[in-house]
Amino acid sequence: MEYSTLITLREGDICKVARIQAGTTATMRLYEMGFNTGARVQVLKNDRGPIIVGLGGHKVALGRGLAEKMLVARSK
């Protein structure tokens, strides 16, 4: 399994959340919104501004700074 940060993924990529290191508050918030370990995330948009991902059929926008701190495992 190869790990990378969420920000490096491209539109359409699907990945699983491995670890988030964004400080307690943001990490907890993400966890609580469903970005907990193993959650399946699809990148819907990653160009300028916050990155948009799909999670459980819903869309969430994440700041780019945050996406740099989210370690994910890319699945094919």
Partner 1 sequence: MSMTIALAGNPNSGKTTLFNALTGSNQHVGNWPGVTVERKEGQTRYGNQVYRVVDLPGTYSLGAFSEDEVVAREFIVSGNPDVVINVVDATNIERNLYLTTQLLEMGTKVVVALNMVDEAESREIHVDEKALAQRLGVPVIRTVASRRKGIDELMEAAIAVARVPLNGHVQLSYGESIDKRIEVLKGFLQGGDFRYPSSWLALKLLEGDSYAKKFVFENSNLRDLEEFSRFWDEVAVHEEEFQLEIVDSRYKFVGDITKDVVRRPGVAVETTTDKVDRVLTHKYWGMPIFAAIMFAIFQLTFAVGQDLLGEWMAVAIDYVGGALEGFLVGVNAPAWLIDFIGNGMVAGVGAVVEFVPLIVILYLLMGLLEDSGYMARAAYVMDNTMRAVGLQGKTFISMIVGFGCNVPGVMATRTLENKKDRMIAILINPFMSCGAKIPIYLVFIAAFFPSYGGLVLFSVYALGVAVAFLMGKIFSKTLFKGETSHFIMELPPYRKPTLSNVVRNMWDNVSGFLARAGTIILAVVSLLWVLAVLPLGVEPYGSASILGRIGQFIAPIFEPAGFGTWQAAVGLFSGIAAKEAVVATLGMVYAGVEAGTELVAAIREVFTPLTAVSFMVMTLLYTPCAATLGTIKKETGSAKWTLFSAFYSFGIAWVLSVLVFQVGRVLGFS
CB 11 within 8 A of CB 48: no
Distance, in Å, from the CA atom of 73 to the CA atom of 29, rounded to the nearest integer, reads: 20
Q: How far is the CB of 23 from partner 1 (least distance, A)?
A: 8
Q: What is the DSSP letter of 34?
A: T
Site track for partner 1 across 36-55, x = CB under 8 A? xx------xx-xxxx-x-xx
Distance, in Å, from the CA atom of 33 to the CA atom of 12, rounded to the nearest integer, reads: 21
Is 29 a binding residue for partner 1 by CB under 8 A? The answer is yes
CB 30 within 8 A of CB 11: no
Is 58 a binding residue for partner 1 by CB under 8 A? The answer is yes
Whichever of 4 and 31 has its CB closer to partner 1, that residue is: 31
Residues lying near partner 1 in the complex (CB under 8 A)? 22, 24-34, 36-37, 44-45, 47-50, 52, 54-63, 65-66
